Structure 1
Amino acid sequence: METRIFFNPGDSIANIHDYNEAVRKGQIFKRERRNDDLVIAKGPDDEEYAIFYAKDAAQQPGAGQKPYQIKHKL
């Protein structure tokens, strides 16, 4: 089940067109920073996957934030 959440696009760690590549890069980044939970999210343009820190998520839209669909949690 997908979850819609809001992020500021400027807060993304990486933007990648391939889902599997986004997951691999997220896992590598997670290994380096074990204390931070990450999410892989499909962008509002439906073309890219973005990696965000889970703590940067907002339930309601704020200034500069856009809706993303959570695809994977790390």
Structure 2
Amino acid sequence: METRIFFNPGDSIANIHDYNEAVRKGQIFKKERKVDDLVIAKDKDNEEYAIFYARDAKQEPHNSTKAYEIKKHV
């Protein structure tokens, strides 16, 4: 099931073209920073995966946000 959510692209922790690499970097970031609310999201326009804090998600579109598809909660 696809979950679309809106994020400000400038809030991303990392942007990566490879899904597995995004998951790996998210897990490393999570362990180093001791956080537990990360998501891997896919930008359909650029075919990139971005890592965001889940708390930064917006439910409605806004001028500074883009739609992303949540792929994994880390």
Coarse TM-score class (shorter-chain normalised)? over 0.9
Q: Which residue matches 2:37?
A: 37
Q: Tell me if structure 2 keeps the 8 A contact 1:44–1:66.
A: no
TM superposition shift of 1:7: 0.2
Residue range with higher mean Cα deviation, 20-29 or 45-54: 45-54
Give aligned pairs, total: 74
Deviation track 1:12-60 (CA, whole Å, cap 9, x = no partner) reads 0000000000000000001112234100000141410000000000110
2:73 corresponds to which letter in structure 1? Answer: K
Q: How many percent of aligned residue pairs carry the same amino acid? A: 76
The secondary structure found in structure 1 opposite 2:24 is helix
Which 5+ residue runs of structure 2 have no aligned equivalent? Answer: none
RMSD: 1.1
Inter-partner Cα distance in structure 2 for 1:36 and 1:11: 17
Structure 1 unaligned segments of length 5 or more: list them.
none
TM-score norm. by structure 2 comes to: 0.92
